[in-house]
Amino acid sequence: MRRNLQVLLIAALFAGMPAGAQTSVPEISFDSVADPLKFPANIHLGEAAGVATNSKGDVFVYTRTGHPTISFGTARPFAHGGSRLFQFDRSGKFVREMGQDSYGFLVAQQVRIDAQDNIWVVDQMSSMVIKFDPSGQVQLLLGRKSESERLPPAAPTGRGAGANFPPAAQAPAGGRGGRGGAPGAGQQSDVFQRPTDVAWDAQGNIYVADGYGNSRVAKFDKNGKFIKSWGSRGTENGQFNVVHGIAIDAQGNVYVADTGNKRIQVFDGEGTFKTQILNVGNPAAICITPGSHQYLYSSSSNPPENIDVDGEIYKMELNGKVVGKFGRAGKLPKEFGTVNALSCRNENELYVGEIGNWRVQKLTLRPN
Amino acid sequence: MSPLSVSYLILPLMLFGGSVFAQTKAKAQNVPEIPYESVPNFLKFPAGLYLGEAMGVATNSKGHIFVYTRSANTRLFEFDQNGKFVREIGEGNYGFEFAHSVRVDPEDNIWAVDEGTNMVLKFNPAGRIVMVLGHRPDAVAGLVAQSPAPGAPAEKYILGRPTDVAWDAQGNIFVSDGYINHRVVKYDKNGRFLKQVGSEKPGSEPSQFNTPHGIAVDAQGNVYVADRANHRMQVFDNNLERKAIYDNIGDSWTVCISPGPHQYLFTSNSNPNGNPPGSWDITGEIYKMELDGTILGRFGHASKEFGGFQVVHMMDCRNPNEIIVAEIESWRVQKLILKPQSAKLSAAK
C-alpha cells in the first residue's frame, strides 16, 4: 500500500499536478516523548502556547499559567499576570524562569528565538512583542499594553471556549485608528491587536503577525522602527482571516498562516503576494527548518472544543509540495491537542506546544 | 412541560418564597440511626496553612487523604493516613480557580474537578498533570457571565461548571456536568467522547438532570448520579441507559460507593447553604444504602458543632465504617467512625 502511494505520488508530481491538489498524503512515522521538560515540583505547565529552541538546544516555553487578575476598588480595571516564560536545557532540565512578573505577560501566545539566540515573546492580551537578550534582559519592545482593560458588561456572550479561533464577531473590531483604512488593516505603527507571532529575515528586519484583532503583517527594521504593513480582513490574496503564524525562509520570503482562510500565503519581504498553499487543513502554527534544504511544517490544529477532527501536521517543501503528514487530534502521546507552536530547528526533531493538552511534546520523525 | 414553563413556575418561588428553600425532607421513614464518633484533631495543618471551604475529599490506596479547598486560591493538599500534612499538589496551576471535587482512581491518580475553569485535571501519583478534560475559556475573550452560556448546545469536549468524576473497571471516565450543562458524559480512558445522558437543559423526567452534582460507579459499571435539584439519585447502566431512581433520600448532594465484595452506597441530604430557618430540622443526614436502594441506616445532622455537619459537599468511603466528610460552611474535614452494629431505630423526625 505504501509503495502504491509512493508510485501515485511520483506519478502526480510528474504529471505536474499543483501541490495543493494532492489527494493521498504519505504518513510520516514518528515517536514522541510526551514530557521532555522536567518542571520543579511547584511549577506546572498550563496551556503551552509557545515553544522554541536556541542554538544550544535549550528549550523555551511561554505558557498560560493563570488568568490575568483584575483588582477591585481601583479607578480603572488593571490587568496583572497570567503567563510565565521558562528555560530548560537540551536534556529537559529546568534552567530558570525569565521575565518574572513582567508588565507584558498576560496571555501567552508565542515564543521564538532569533539567529543571535535572543528570546522574543508575543503576548496576545498585552498586544506586545518583547525581546530578551540571551541573559534575560529586556532589549526591545514593540507595542504597548493597554493602561487598563475595558471590561464588557457581564452578559452571556457565548462560548469563550472557541476564542483560540474566535468567530469574527468576538474579535475586536479591526482597523481601529486606521483612519479609514480597510477593516483589519490596523495602524501604520506598532499598535497591535492581539498579535500572534514574530519572525526575522537575514537582515534582522522584524515581521509581526497581527493577528486576531488586526489582519495584517507589520514590518520593522532591526531597531524596531516601523517600515510598513500589509493586509486587511478578507479572503483575497493579500488579505487575511486571523493571521496566526509567520515564518521566513533563507531567501526572505514570508510565509503567513492564514488560519481562517485555510491557507498559507507567501509574500516577498516587501509584502508582494507570491503564492498560496492550500489543502493543508487550517494552518495554525508554522515553522521553517534552517540549513541548505529548508522544509516548511504546518499544523492543522483542531479547535479546543473538538478532538475528533483535524490535528495533523504537514511537512512541505518551500514551494508547497507536501512531503508527508503525521499525527491526529487527541490526548495520548503522539496525538495533538490544539497545537499552537512548532519548533523545527532540527528537521526530524520537533517540539510541539499544545493548548489543549497543557503539554510540550518532543517528536522524532522517521521519514522513509 | 416545556423548560420555559418550568422556569416560569420556579421564578415566583425564588422571588417571593422567602421561607421556601430548595432542600427537601427525605421521604424515607423509620430509618435506623447509626451511631458514630468524629475523630478529634483529624487533619493536622502546618502553622500558617488554613483550610477554606472543604469541597472535595478522597483517599488513595495507602489511606492518604486529599483535600480540595477554596481558600484565597483554590488549592489541593495531601495528608498521610494519620492526618499529617504531606504536600501541596498542583500549586498555582492553570486549572485551579474554584474547587469542586477530588477523587482518586484505582491507580492512585488524583483527579480534581474545578467549576471555575470548567476543567477536570488528572494528576499522576507524583502530582504532575497527565491529562486534562474540558477547556478553560480564554482570558482574551473578556468577562463572560457564564461559559458556556446556559442553554447553548452541549459540546463533546467543553464542560459547563462540571461537578464530579468517576471511572468504571475499564477506565472509562464519567463526568457529571454540572451547573450549566445538565448531563453525564462518558469518555474512554484516553479522554475521547463516547456518550452522554441528559443535555444542556435541566429537566425532571427520567434521564434528565437538574444539577447533577456527584457521581460514582460500582464494580459492575453501573453509574449513580446525585441529581441534586431533582431531589433524587438516578442509576444508569454502563451504557448510560436508565436503571433506577431513588427518590426517598432527600436531595442527593454527593454519592460514594465503598469498594470490596459487598459494596455500600452513601448519599448526603446536605443542609442547604445559608441555613434557612427550619432547614436543620429536615436535612443534614447521610444515608447508608445497598446498591439496590435499600436504606440500611442514617447518621449525622445539621449543626455547626464538632460532629455535626455544615453542608456536606463530599464523602470518602473507602472504608465503609470510616467516612470522611468535607463540609462547605464549617471549612472542615471530619473523619467519622461508624458503629453500624449498634444502629437502632430512632423516632421518625
Which among A44, A305, A356 is the nearest to B129, CB-wise?
A44
Q: Where are the alpha helices (DSSP H) in chain A?
A: 2-14
B131 at the A interface (CB within 8 A)? yes
| Average model confidence (pLDDT) across chain B | 92
CB A304 within 8 A of CB A338: yes
A159–B137: do the CB atoms touch at under 8 Å? yes
Q: Per-residue pLDDT tens for B61-98?
A: 999 999 999 999 999 999 999 999 999 999 999 999 99
B135–A305: do the CB atoms touch at under 8 Å? yes
CB A271 within 8 A of CB A302: no
Which range (A77-81, B29-33, B155-159, B263-267) has the least confidence?
A77-81
CB A142 within 8 A of CB A129: yes
Least Cα distance to A316 among A5, A25, A14 occurs for A25
Least Cα distance to B100 among B214, B3, B9 occurs for B214
CA–CA dist A180, A171 (Å, integer): 19
- Nearest CA of chain B to the CA of A205: how many Å? 28
CB A343 within 8 A of CB A53: yes
B147–A125: do the CB atoms touch at under 8 Å? no
- Sheet of strand A263-267, all strands in order from the earlier edge strand to the far edge: A243-248, A254-258, A263-267, A273-277
Q: Which residues on chain B are in Cβ contact (under 8 Å) with A194?
A: 140
How much of chain B exceeds pLDDT 70, in percent?
A: 92
Query: What nine digits make up the cell of B48?
Result: 500558617
CA–CA dist B223, A198 (Å, integer): 50
A342 at the B interface (CB within 8 A)? no
Is the per-residue pLDDT at B4 higher than 70? no
Which among B90, B92, B157 is the nearest to A66, CB-wise?
B92
CB A243 within 8 A of CB A255: no
Least Cα distance to A97 among A47, A44, A21 occurs for A44
Is the per-residue pLDDT at A229 higher than 50? yes
Which among A44, A106, A305 is the nearest to B158, CB-wise?
A305
pLDDT, position A248? 98
Q: Which residues on chain B are in Cβ contact (under 8 Å) with A305?
A: 135, 155-158
Which range (A93-102, B80-89, B124-133, B136-145) has the least confidence?
B136-145
Is the per-residue pLDDT at A299 higher than 90? yes
Q: Average pLDDT of B226-244? A: 98
- Rg of chain A on CA atoms, in Å: 20
pLDDT, position A23? 65
Distances from the Cα of A120 to the Cα of A145, A317, A349, angstroms: 16, 26, 21
pLDDT, position A156? 47
CB B124 within 8 A of CB B142: no
B116 at the A interface (CB within 8 A)? no
**Which of A80, A157, A310 should be substituted to probe chain B, the one whose Cβ sees the most B Cβ atoms within 10 Å?**
A157
B307 compared with A17, residue with greater pLDDT: B307
The pTM of the full predicted model, rounded to 2 decimals, is 0.87
pLDDT, position A176? 46
Q: Per-residue pLDDT tens for A331-354?
A: 999 999 999 999 999 999 999 999
Query: In what helix (H) or strand (E) does residue B6 lie, and over which residues does it extend?
Result: helix B3-16
Q: Average pLDDT of A86-96? A: 98
Q: Which residues on chain B are in Cβ contact (under 8 Å) with A44?
A: 90-94, 128-129
Provide the b/e sequence for A123-141 (b: ≥16 CB within 10 Å): bbbbbbbbbbebeeeeebe
- CB contacts < 8 A (A, B): 128
pLDDT, position B142? 72
Which range (A151-165, A199-213, A238-252, A322-336) has the least confidence?
A151-165
- Sheet of strand A339-346, all strands in order from the earlier edge strand to the far edge: A29-33, A359-366, A349-354, A339-346
Q: Which residues contact B69 (CB under 8 A, 6 or more apart)?
A: B51, B52, B53, B54, B55, B56, B75, B76, B77, B99, B331
pLDDT, position A76? 87
Is the per-residue pLDDT at B344 higher than 90? no
pLDDT, position A16? 42
Which among A65, A160, A305 is the nearest to B94, CB-wise?
A65
Q: Per-residue pLDDT tens for A124-146?
A: 999 999 999 999 999 999 999 99
B41 at the A interface (CB within 8 A)? no
pLDDT, position A174? 43
The DSSP bridge pattern shows strands A283-288 and A295-300 to be antiparallel
**Which of B122, B130, B135, B147 should be substituted to probe chain A, the one whose Cβ sees the most A Cβ atoms within 10 Å?**
B135
Q: Average pLDDT of B29-39? A: 96
CA–CA dist A59, A55 (Å, integer): 10
pLDDT, position A175? 44
Which among B146, B149, B192 is the nearest to A307, CB-wise?
B192
pLDDT, position B19? 40
Label residue A149 by pLDDT band (50, 70, 90). Answer: confident
ipTM attached to this prediction: 0.83
Which range (A9-23, A248-262, B217-231, B249-263) has the least confidence?
A9-23
Q: Per-residue pLDDT tens for A300-334?
A: 999 999 999 999 999 999 999 999 999 999 999 99
For residue B57, the tally of other CB atoms under 10 A from its CB is 28
Residue B158's closest chain A neighbor by CA? Answer: A305
B190–A332: do the CB atoms touch at under 8 Å? yes
CA–CA dist A258, A247 (Å, integer): 12
How much of chain A exceeds pLDDT 70, in percent?
A: 86
Distances from the Cα of A45 to the Cα of A84, A97, B53, B93, B215, angstroms: 9, 12, 26, 7, 28
A66 at the B interface (CB within 8 A)? yes
- Rg of chain B on CA atoms, in Å: 19
Label residue A9 by pLDDT band (50, 70, 90). Answer: very low
Q: Average pLDDT of B124-146? A: 89
A44–B94: do the CB atoms touch at under 8 Å? yes
